[in-house]
Structure 1
Amino acid sequence: MKLVVYEIRIALAGTDPLVWRRIRVPADARLSLVHYAIQVAMGWYNSHLHEFVGKDGARYGMAEDGNAYGGVLDERRYQLTALLAERGDSCQYVYDFGDDWVHELVLESVVELSDDEFPVCCLDGSGACPPEDCGGVPGYAELLECHLSTDNYG
């Protein structure tokens, strides 16, 4: 039996140059697994809260004892197909509610894998992931500006 996987482009909103990754995950993966795949692909350390936000405004994240809190549904109970079903569908993944890293996830393709292909991986990307706790997009832009200005003296 072939495994159906999604190839998803993840773009970190507000970054210039754009920080993005393309990952592959099983279509029926729980959102909690997708969270970890994003963490690894983007280079985050899983040190902060996060949530997925669907086009309909539904929010999925970590919940205590499997119960929703503040309207946030338990991500361990929902599959990726709850947010993305057809090519072009999109949703958001927000990481670190202080720095407010908003990622746009877009389903680029649906693929059937052969038995010898690994279903979870990072396929492509560009741009260094911002460091944790750097102050969000404005703080990251400032870090890049400092780095670029010091390159002129190297």
Structure 2
Amino acid sequence: MFENALDKRTKKSLLNLKYLSYIFVFATIALGYIVSTYTAYRLLGTYSELKTQIILWLIISYVVSFMIIWGIYDVIRLLNNLYKGNIFTYENADILKIIDKKIIFTIIFSTIANVVMTLMNGNPIWFLLVWFVFIIFLVVGHILVYPLALLVRKSADLQIEMELTI
């Protein structure tokens, strides 16, 4: 009876994380695409001489938003596997590695974009601070996801060895 209650709580937690992931996708779409497009449109009307910087900023916002949404898609795939009871599998390890690669790409892209925008005098100091905090969160994500992928892969190896010995 206790195991069933634990399973129900675990499944409920996984469903809550899945719903939270969908909310995060909608928030990213709202902020990354709708708000940034509206802001760029307003800025282009006011500061037409900064057209190049505004368009570059918009492109950077679109790419980073796309990478975030694409990464969340993989998180949802992982949550679906966990919900089915597939925990220590090679598929989950591969999903975690894919998420890690997307994090690394976003770190590199964001860093290069910020350097280019700074050299073009297109980033105010507060914007650089926001991007720096964003990059720190991505680095922390990488530090957490990469070892987790290795752990899941090793656990899948051990699980297969254990099944073969039985």
Higher helix fraction (1 or 2):
2
Structure whose residues are more often strand by fraction: 1
TM-score band (shorter)?
under 0.3
TM-score, normalised on structure 2?
A: 0.26
User: Larger relative CO (CA 8 A, sep 6+): 1 or 2?
Assistant: 1
User: What is the TM-score when the length of structure 1 is the normalising length?
Assistant: 0.28
